[in-house]
Amino acid sequence: MKAKKVIVIHVKDDVEKEEFMKELEKLNLPAFIYVHGKLNSIRINIQGTKDEIREAIYKIRDIHKRIRSRLYANKRGLYRYTLDDIFREAGVSISAPILLKTLELLGETAELKDNELETSIPWNKIVELTRKLGKCLGDISLQTTRQIREVALPLAVVFNIDPEKILDLMVKLGVAEYKEDKFKYELVKNKEQAMEIMLKHLTGEENED
């Protein structure tokens, strides 16, 4: 038996409205919806069975909650994003340790829990940062192991250095080597030691300039 339900989503500004409408278009809903946007609210007519309407309302409210948490900082000054939302918007997927280490090197707060990232960096900047990491990953993914990427990629993006040059520098400083038989760069030291040695060298070079 078909039923109808109307819900109203209140938004603070045009940015929130645009983000919500963009996410709403991506939703795969079992129910039929008709959307009417007003100045500070969006009226949504939902038609379908009771179960379809219930599922639609849950999904609609969930995306609105996610949008608000990524557009507006909480009392601690932090935004909350799901990794899936970041990767989908950036059009690339990278490992969580690489993203977290990059944010840490940039001096940003970053805490990951159950695929949700709470951080001090705004939405548009984390999307841009993820795209940069994705591009660097594409440049060196075939010739590197996962461990070495977790050191090389954050450094490449934070210091704005070509990732290939970072790999060469890692070999020069003795923290990595190129394995001819595997056609891959691998770490010689553990990640923490390698990162510490690289950071000392890179910040030392900056101070000398």
pLDDT tens by residue, 47-100: 999 999 999 999 999 999 999 999 999 999 999 999 999 999 999 999 999 999
Taking residues 155-159, what's their average pLDDT? 97
pLDDT-based confidence at residue 199 (cuts at 50, 70, 90): very high
Q: Over 50: is that where the pLDDT of 209 sits?
A: no
pLDDT value at position 205?
56
Three-state DSSP class for residue 121: coil
pLDDT band (50, 70, 90) for residue 124: very high
Q: What value does the mean pLDDT take over residues 171-199?
A: 94
Question: In the prediction, which pLDDT does 204 show?
Answer: 85
Above 80 in pLDDT, residue 206?
A: no
- Top pLDDT among 193 and 207 is at 193
- Does position 170 have pLDDT exceeding 80, yes or no? yes
Residue 141 clears pLDDT 60, i.e. is over it: yes
Q: Indicate the pairing of strand 110-113 with strand 176-179.
A: unpaired
At CA 102, angle to CA 201 and CA 97, rounded to 5? 115
The ranges assigned to domains in the chain are: 3-71, 79-203
- Going from the C-alpha of 126 to that of each of 21, 34, 113, 117, 131, the distances in angstroms are 21, 32, 17, 11, 9
Q: What is the pTM of this model?
A: 0.84
CATH of domain 3-71: 3.30.310
The torsion angles phi and psi of 81, rounded to 5 degrees, stand at: -130, 150
pLDDT at 140: 95
